Every structure is written in structure tokens, then in C-alpha cells.
Copies of this chain bind each other. A is one copy, B any other.
Amino acid sequence: MRQITGFSNPLVKRVRSLRDKKHRRREGLFLAEGLRILTEARDMGVLPEMLFLAPEGAAHPLARTLIAATEAAGGDVIETSADILSKLSGKDNPQTLIGVYRDRLTPLAALDRTAAPIWIVAQALRDPGNLGTILRTGDAVGAGGLILVDDCVDPFSVEAVRASMGALFTQTISITRWDDFLAWLRAGPGTLAALSLRTDTDYQAAHYPAPTFILVGNEAQGLPAAYEEACDIRVKMPMRGKADSLNAAVATAVMAYEVLNQQRRA
């Protein structure tokens, strides 16, 4: 463990810059904040390259375990002040622990589609909470990973990391373009399924062979019509209300559990 006390320390500036997507992508690093999420990551075998903590952050037994594991793995453990943690996190009341992790993007061509019966594909998803929640759902249903097409929110934003509750550290993540995704998909086995307002087929009436790729669209616009038309399966969920809409992460989860339920019955 070493100490950094100066605001102008180059490492402080560098880590602070990871709040910005451009810098995250260039460095291949991202931030996760708080004992809970860092412990979740450790439980999944992922340790930070750098671990920043305030003196009071080291007191918790789980924090001590995390510090020891990070140092044992060759990570850099840095004790600093609450003020510098505030600067790193951009919050007045920062978490007492901030981890810097190597990002974990996988090229589409490196995905083994037969390794899992369910995959999730998100298009132009904008809300980091939704993205993190979808990762968490993907982990729960045993999905192989999350494929992001078009301009989705960054999966390595602090908010997405937090909402994923550790699933970011277990789910494979690919970022690609729609045309590239479709070409890759059609070069092997895989059923592309989407919820749609332009169908009368109930989501429980369709059959979802493994691997099924669940395609979810932008929160406000949904999927472009051409993307829906490229799907093998277009289904709708029963809607009994007046507002007649579901949160994107909720709709993805209800669909993913239907696919899982069919596959576990088979």
C-alpha cells in the first residue's frame, strides 16, 4: 500500500479522467465504486489494477480482504484522502473504495455462440441503469453475454457498473455495428427474436431454440422497422393496462425468462 495526498498527482488526474467515456476507451480501464460492488467483482475472481481508499475505508473486514487480494495479485493499493476520493468519483460523498479495472470487451468474432443458449443484443440503449440491469439479468438466466449495436450507452460507465451488481464482471460484452452483427449471426446457428408492436404472435407461442439472441431496442424509439424485419421471431407480450409499455430492462427480462423456461422444459 502506498499513499497519495496531492490533488495534482498525475495518477489522480488520470483516474479522474476515467469518468469520461473517451478516456475509458483509450486507457482500456474503468471505475467501480463501493465495497459492495468491488466485493462482488472479487467473488467473481476479478480484482482491480488500482484500488483507492480513504483511511476509514480500510477498516471493514471485506475491505481488508479486498486489499490483501489486490496486493497479492500485483495490484496497486493507494491510500488517499476523502477529498481526493471525492475528486475521483465526482461526488460530494464518495464511496470509501474506488477500484480501477481493465475493461473486458470481446470482439464479436471471438464469441462462442454455442457456449450459451441465450444471448442478449441491445440496440441504441441509452440508460446506463437499464444496461447494467440487463447485464444482471443476463447473468441470472445464464446468457453468454451482451452484444451492443449502434450507439449504446457505455457499459463501463459508473452507473452501468453499479446497476449490473457484479454481472459486468461475468458477462461477455461486445460492441459492434448492426450490419456486422447480422453478418456474424447469419454465418452460424442462432435465432434472432424481438418484442414488436407489429405482430399478433404471443411471446409464449413462439419456440426459441438455442442459441436464441434476444434483441432489445432503444428505450424511446424501440427497434427500427428494418431490424425487426431481420428477426426470425417477432412476438408481443400481453398488455392489460392503459400506459401499455414496459421498461426496456423489464421487457428484456420477461422475454429472457420465457426463453429460459422453454429451454429448461425441453
Instruction: Give me the interface of A with B, judged by CB distance under 8 Å.
Output: 40, 43-44, 129, 133, 136-142, 163-167, 170, 204, 237-247, 249-250, 253-254, 257, 260-261, 264
Contact = CB atoms under 8 A, between A and B. Distances in A.
A139 B243 contact: yes
A253 to B, nearest CB: 4
A196 to B, nearest CB: 16
B264 A238 contact: yes
Contact of A136 (B44, B243, B253): B243
Q: Which 9 A-B pairs have the closest CB atoms?
A: A142-B240, A139-B241, A250-B253, A166-B243, A170-B242, A139-B243, A167-B243, A133-B247, A254-B257
B253 A141 contact: no
Given A253-B250, A257-B254, A243 B204 contact: no
B137 A250 contact: yes
Contact of A238 (B170, B242, B260): B260
Nearest to A244: B140
Nearest to A117: B240
Nearest to A138: B241
B243 A163 contact: no
Contacts of A241: 138-142, 167, 170
